[in-house]
Amino acid sequence: MNIKPLADRVVIKKLEAEETTKSGIVLTGSAKERPQEAEVVAVGPGAIIDGKRCDMEVKVGDKVLYSKYAGTDVKVNGEEYTILKQEDILAIVE
Amino acid sequence: MNIKPLADRVVIKKLEAEETTKSGIVLTGSAKERPQEAEVVAVGPGAIIDGKRCDMEVKVGDKVLYSKYAGTDVKVNGEEYTILKQEDILAIVE
Amino acid sequence: MNIKPLADRVVIKKLEAEETTKSGIVLTGSAKERPQEAEVVAVGPGAIIDGKRCDMEVKVGDKVLYSKYAGTDVKVNGEEYTILKQEDILAIVE
Amino acid sequence: MNIKPLADRVVIKKLEAEETTKSGIVLTGSAKERPQEAEVVAVGPGAIIDGKRCDMEVKVGDKVLYSKYAGTDVKVNGEEYTILKQEDILAIVE
Amino acid sequence: MNIKPLADRVVIKKLEAEETTKSGIVLTGSAKERPQEAEVVAVGPGAIIDGKRCDMEVKVGDKVLYSKYAGTDVKVNGEEYTILKQEDILAIVE
Amino acid sequence: MNIKPLADRVVIKKLEAEETTKSGIVLTGSAKERPQEAEVVAVGPGAIIDGKRCDMEVKVGDKVLYSKYAGTDVKVNGEEYTILKQEDILAIVE
Amino acid sequence: MNIKPLADRVVIKKLEAEETTKSGIVLTGSAKERPQEAEVVAVGPGAIIDGKRCDMEVKVGDKVLYSKYAGTDVKVNGEEYTILKQEDILAIVE
């Protein structure tokens, strides 16, 4: 992976529908914002607030739920990633 | 339960209409935002503000009222949950 | 009463039109947001700001004026209540 | 007067047109928000900011100019009052 | 002058077109907000921020440029004034 | 120059098209906000934040790029100036 | 380069499509904001927050991804640059 997100941004890789099924999570929510499952592939150093850097709460390898409409898509070496702010990640899936 | 909400997010499970009746609460409010009753199934570690983590005010097992339109729905192992921020929870029902 | 409001929320019970007349208050304001008289039935522990909990300014039993369009209505054991933030309460009526 | 405004709210009583003329103030401003003259009849304890209560700058008896569209009207014992935040008061008239 | 502005408000008196010419300033800006020249006739005590009162930067007698659409007009003893916040004053003209 | 900008405001004088060419800068950006080159002719004392005055980053004589739609135009002694906040200045050109 | 960005602004130079291909990054996102690859050519001194200057996280020479619609375009000596705030940079590409 050659993308280093800045501040409190995270790079994630969307999980395929199959894998989503395996972990037993089906995402619903037609009337609401639909979440998406993904794996964290890169984590920024954390935002700097009042001169102090805040630790990030997710780490590389975490499987996360995030809002489908959050972030920006990029394609690196033929694979698609999404760069988003940590606050757009809803939860870690274990 | 295998969802760990981040920061000040909470995972809740909507209570069925029957249970709602049992606790004696009927939710109204056609002209206003209608609240919903639910049980807390997972609680985030709390938001970090000015470098300090804030304690959460709800805990697993609490029955809560929340705004029906708040949060994001997910389905895990066939059961539906909602992930929302603690500030969208109106009250604990006892 | 079995509703414990969170943070700086308050549960109030709208006063009947008769009682409103008794206390000598008639609420007007067609062109503006019309206030409503109510009695406080439950008070949250107070918001946490910069790590400190702020004391609430209203207490159970207070009669208050609040903006009619503020808050969320719930019905408990056949009685209607409104859950709102303390900042939506305009004044205490004595 | 039996209304105790909360936080930084103030209860004022609009001055009649006659009195407005006596003090020599005529309020204009068709294209802008038109101010109104009033007398302060009750003052809240002041807002709490960062855990400290801020002193109020107006006191009972002050004649003030305020924005006509600010605040909420109530009628107590047959007399009309307006409840508004102190920041909606423009100036004290002496 | 019998108007005491609150907080960081200032009372100003618009300068006549003749005086504007004398000081050599012609105000333009059809596509932008057009500024106006005026003289300061009363100055509030300054806003209170974090419990401390901030000194005002203008004083009575200062000639200032301000945004024409800022503030509220009042007429006192037959003369027109404008009450506005200090932050709506662009510059002092010397 | 007889205009003293307040707080973090700056008075600038637009540079003519010829001068723009000399410094080798051509401003583009039809789909975006188009910047303009100008010379700083007066600098405010700096904004006061948390009771402390912040130093300004530009000084009289600096050539700067700024957003064309920022600020307010005034004409003094037949010359046009723009008063804008320092944050609307994009860069110093050397 | 003769542009010194102010505060937390950065001057970047868009990378040509060929170079984008070389680094293996193809930018997608029709439904979302499309990012762009660029090289940092000048970095501001950092924003001043609470009286302290914050260090910048990017440096001259860094290749970065940024939101295509962020910032302002300028042409210097025949070459096009974009001036944007550091927070509009998504990630450093290595």
pLDDT in tens, D35-50: 788 999 999 999 887 7
Asked whether E49 and E11 are in contact (CB, 8 A), the reply is no
**Among the CATH numbers 2.30.33.40, 1.10.10.60, 3.40.30.10, 1.20.140.10, which is that of G9-93?**
2.30.33.40
Most confident segment among E14-23, F70-79, G1-10: G1-10
* Residue F23 pLDDT > 80: no
CA–CA dist B32, B10 (Å, integer): 23
Comparing B17-26, E64-73, G45-54, which segment has the lowest mean pLDDT?
A: B17-26
Rg of chain F taking only CA atoms, in angstroms: 14
CA–CA dist G65, G76 (Å, integer): 22
CA–CA dist D55, D64 (Å, integer): 17
* Residue A69 pLDDT > 60: yes
pLDDT band at B20 (very low <50, low <70, confident <90, very high): low
**CA of D85, closest CA in chain C: separation in Å?**
9
Residues of chain G with Cβ-Cβ distance to F89 below 8 Å are 6
Q: Mean pLDDT score of chain B, rounded to an integer?
A: 81
Residue type at position A86: Q
* Residue G29 pLDDT > 50: no
CA–CA dist F2, E91 (Å, integer): 10
Chains contacting A (3 or more CB pairs within 8 Å) = B, G
Nearest CB to A73: which of G24, G32, G55? Answer: G32
* Residue F54 pLDDT > 90: no
pLDDT band at D82 (very low <50, low <70, confident <90, very high): very high
Residue type at position C35: P
* Residue E68 pLDDT > 90: no
- Asked if chain F contacts chain A via 3 or more Cβ pairs within 8 Å, the reply is no
Nearest CB to A28: which of B69, B71, B73? Answer: B73
Comparing B59-68, G49-58, G79-88, which segment has the lowest mean pLDDT?
A: G49-58
Cβ count within 10 A of residue D85: 17
Q: Look at residue A21 and give its three-state secondary structure.
A: helix
G25-27/A72-76 β-pairing? antiparallel
Percent over 90 (pLDDT), chain B: 43
Chains contacting B (3 or more CB pairs within 8 Å) = A, C
CA distances from F10 to F46, F70, G48, G84, G85 (A): 9, 11, 18, 21, 20
Most confident segment among B15-19, C8-12, F65-69: C8-12
* Residue D68 pLDDT > 80: no
Cross-chain Cβ contact G93/A2 below 8 Å: yes
Residue with token string 């307006």 = D82
* Residue F75 pLDDT > 90: no
Task: Determine which of B59, B86, B90 to mutate to test the interface with C (most C C-beta atoms within 10 Å).
Answer: B90
Q: Can you tell me the mean pLDDT for E36-57?
A: 88
Most confident segment among A62-71, D10-19, G72-81: A62-71
* Residue F21 pLDDT > 70: no
Residue in C69, C64, C71, C51 with CA at minimum distance from that of residue C9: C71
- Asked if chain D contacts chain A via 3 or more Cβ pairs within 8 Å, the reply is no
Cross-chain Cβ contact G50/A50 below 8 Å: yes
Q: Look at residue F22 and give its three-state secondary structure.
A: helix
Q: Can you tell me the mean pLDDT for C20-48?
A: 70
Domain boundaries, chain F: 9-93
- Asked if chain F contacts chain G via 3 or more Cβ pairs within 8 Å, the reply is yes
Q: Can you tell me the mean pLDDT for B46-67?
A: 88
CA distances from D34 to D14, D29, D76 (A): 14, 5, 25
Residues of chain B with Cβ-Cβ distance to C72 below 8 Å are 29, 32-35, 65, 67, 90
Residue type at position G90: L
Residue with token string 């503020």 = C70
What DSSP element (H or E) covers A51?
A: none
The tokens describing B79, both together, are: 């059961």
